[in-house]
Amino acid sequence: MCELFGFSASQPLVASALPLDEFRTHGGDKADNPDGWGMAWRTGGTVQLDKEPLPGFRSARFAALIASVQSDLIVAHVRKARLPPVNTLGNTHPFIHTCCGQQWVFAHNGMVPEVASAEAALCNASCRPDGQTDSEFAFCHLLSHLVGHYHTPGAGDDWPGILSHLSAQIAAHGKFNFLLSDGKLLIAYGHDRLFYQEQADWASPSVMVATEPLGDVARWTSFAPGELRLYQDGVRVRWQV
């Protein structure tokens, strides 16, 4: 199955200090995810993205990124091609689309073909997938429902609640674990398999999120089924439900 990795911190860290080298081996070596790798990271207030439709464990480019990137926000993915079973650049996660004046990044583990079919039929002009994956169609589906709510002032504004409710609806039609970011927040939804590891150091808090525990398994905590967690600068963000 595809695997996710996310990182949020109060200050930039060299990616090689994270278990990303181990994560890279899950791209076709230690796990059956040989159909592409991708990594998005924040630098200088903007989000950068690099990816290839190739096995991550054999990619010199992926290894070079891990050795050189410094960031306080990272979303990475290794892919097992299913819907469709074609490993092209357009089908490789993460995906980036613009919504509500922000660049959004998305990576997914699971299958949601019904949502993909419904979104494709809508011909959503505000978010058109570059590839053919059910994941990217689901991404556009999420963004289309955030329009008019994201960062809108007012007591009734609860876009994380809307996102949580919508994610549960999508998960009911398949398998839907994902990482999402607006360039500031790391947003993680654990439908049935996702783990987190928080570093509560007050001077430099951080969090890692992954499909499979990396390194010391005992230091990772499982998401509750259907749990949505938001982090900014390594600290969990709370909201009223």
pTM for this entry? 0.94
- From residue 1, alpha-carbon distances to 8, 32, 57 in Å are 24, 7, 15
Task: Evaluate the omega torsion of the peptide bond into residue 34 and state whether it is cis, within 30 degrees of 0.
Answer: no
- The amino acid that residue 118 corresponds to is A
Q: What is the pLDDT along the chain (241 residues), one digit of tens a residue?
A: 899 999 999 999 999 999 999 999 999 999 999 999 999 999 988 999 999 999 999 999 999 999 999 999 999 999 999 888 899 999 999 999 999 889 999 999 999 988 877 777 776 667 888 999 999 999 999 998 888 888 765 545 689 999 999 999 999 989 999 999 999 999 999 999 999 999 987 778 999 999 999 999 999 999 999 999 999 999 999 875 5
User: In this predicted structure, what is the pLDDT of residue 155?
Assistant: 47
Determine contact, residues 108/93, Cβ cutoff 8 Å: yes
What residues contact residue 50 under an 8 Å CB cut-off, 6+ apart? 38, 39, 61, 65
Bridge partners of 49, per DSSP, are: 40
Q: How many domains does the chain have?
A: 1
Phi, psi at 214, each rounded to 5°:
-115, 130
pLDDT in tens, 102-140: 999 999 999 998 887 777 777 666 788 899 999 999 999
User: In this predicted structure, what is the pLDDT of residue 123?
Assistant: 65
Structure tokens at 143: 């963004």
Burial tier of 230 (Cβ tally within 10 Å: 0-12, 13-18, 19+): buried
Cα–Cα distance for residue pair 28/35, rounded to 1 Å: 8
Range of the domain at 88: 3-237
> For residue 75, what is the domain's CATH number?
3.60.20.10
